């Protein structure tokens, strides 16, 4: 069984026979039918799930909103309800999903509310480039973004991601230890420095950041910030990485003088103690 078509019309094919048809009108699923001879066997569920999947309906990091005409038949109503559709006004049902809240997503929302296009943004632990790309989108064509990492694979992956997204002229990644960031960014020039500590996703988990380099990197990042700049850091702990880096970073943040910095540590109260911890340091004007 397979789904045929590139949109807006799709066919559900079973051994060369078309047993279902669907048609999109923008984000509205205007038509979804299954041949009566094949109903009640789960083919409708498979068809709708695949249609939503192709539109990103199950992407945990993507906001989606799909509509469908209000179903008349009980079976059609049950099918739409199974996949999260609900009445949304006369004659319309809607399936709305927003990205799951995570420590990284929370940092992105916080930064997006404070940063402006045209700035100098630094991703001090660029990994596979997701944060770097996010910063490029904030910086815009008039801004500049620099990503750092000590692993060549991370630098290469980040530069590929930026080029593929059309931001190769805005941002780039270089091979550099984050504690040495002042060698590539002059003091007092950065609008934002982002850290996402831990390990490179998809790589050896025994290779991860540690307090010995993290604390000098945080000190360097504060020196790199201009007055009014923001440092964002996601701290991790757990079986592999331990507690040392997280606790050392927290002590560092707590020691910063109030006259120069405002520090926020945002704990998810009903998550595990080892859950990622988003932290922010706002450098005061004149700091």
CA–CA gap between residue 116 and residue 230 (Å, rounded): 12
Report whether 285 contacts 259 (CB < 8 A): no
The residue written with tokens 């990492």 in the block is: 149
Q: Is the confidence at residue 205, as pLDDT, over 60?
A: no
Q: Tell me the mean pLDDT in the region 136-146.
A: 95
The tens digit of pLDDT for each residue in 143-190 reads 999 999 988 989 999 999 999 999 999 999 999 999 999 999 999 999
Burial 67-83 (b: 16+ CB within 10 A, else e): bbeebeeeebeebbeeb
**Terminal-residue alpha carbon distance, the chain:** 64
Q: Is the confidence at residue 239, as pLDDT, over 70?
A: no
pTM: 0.71
Burial 205-240 (b: 16+ CB within 10 A, else e): eeebbebeebbbbbebbbbbbbeebbbbbbbbbeee
pLDDT band at 237; cut points 50, 70, 90? confident
pLDDT band at 202; cut points 50, 70, 90? low
Beta strand 17-25 with 28-34 is antiparallel
CA–CA gap between residue 94 and residue 28 (Å, rounded): 9
Phi, psi dihedrals of residue 89, rounded to the nearest 5°:
110, 170
Name which of 103-112, 165-174, 223-232, 249-258 the model is least confident about: 103-112
CA–CA gap between residue 24 and residue 54 (Å, rounded): 12
Report whether 189 contacts 120 (CB < 8 A): yes
Q: Is the confidence at residue 213, as pLDDT, over 90?
A: no
The 92-97 sheet, strands edge to edge: 2-4, 9-14, 17-25, 28-34, 64-69, 92-97, 86-87
Q: Tell me the mean pLDDT in the region 36-56.
A: 94
**Mean pLDDT, rounded, of the chain:** 90
Structure tokens that stand for 138 in this block: 């904030």
């Amino acid at each position: 069984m397979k789904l045929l078509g590139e949109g807006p019309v799709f066919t559900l094919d079973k051994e060369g026979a078309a047993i279902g048809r669907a048609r999109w009108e923008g984000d509205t699923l205007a038509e979804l039918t299954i041949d009566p001879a094949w109903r009640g066997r789960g083919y409708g569920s498979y068809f709708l799930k695949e249609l939503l999947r192709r539109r990103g309906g199950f992407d945990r990091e993507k906001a989606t909103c799909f509509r469908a005409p209000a179903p008349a038949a009980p079976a059609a109503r049950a099918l739409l309800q199974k996949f999260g559709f609900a009445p949304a006004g006369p004659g319309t049902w809607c399936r709305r999903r927003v990205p799951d809240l995570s420590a990284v997503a929370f940092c992105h929302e916080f930064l997006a509310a404070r940063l402006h296009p045209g700035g100098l943004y630094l991703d001090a632990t660029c990994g596979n480039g997701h944060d770097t790309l996010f910063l490029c989108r904030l910086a815009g064509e008039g801004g500049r973004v620099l990503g750092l990492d000590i692993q060549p694979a991370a630098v290469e992956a980040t530069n590929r991601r930026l080029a593929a997204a059309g931001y190769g002229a805005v941002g780039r990644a270089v091979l550099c230890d984050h504690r040495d960031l002042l060698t590539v960014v002059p003091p007092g020039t950065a609008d934002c420095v982002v850290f996402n500590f831990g390990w490179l996703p998809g790589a050896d988990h025994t290779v991860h950041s540690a307090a010995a380099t993290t604390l000098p990197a945080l000190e360097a990042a504060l020196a790199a910030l201009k007055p009014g700049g923001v440092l964002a850091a996601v701290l991790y702990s757990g079986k592999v990485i331990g507690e040392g880096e997280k606790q050392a970073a927290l002590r560092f943040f707590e020691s910063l003088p109030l006259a120069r910095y405002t520090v926020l540590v945002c704990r998810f109260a009903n998550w595990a103690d080892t859950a990622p911890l988003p932290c922010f340091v706002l450098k005061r004007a004149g700091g």
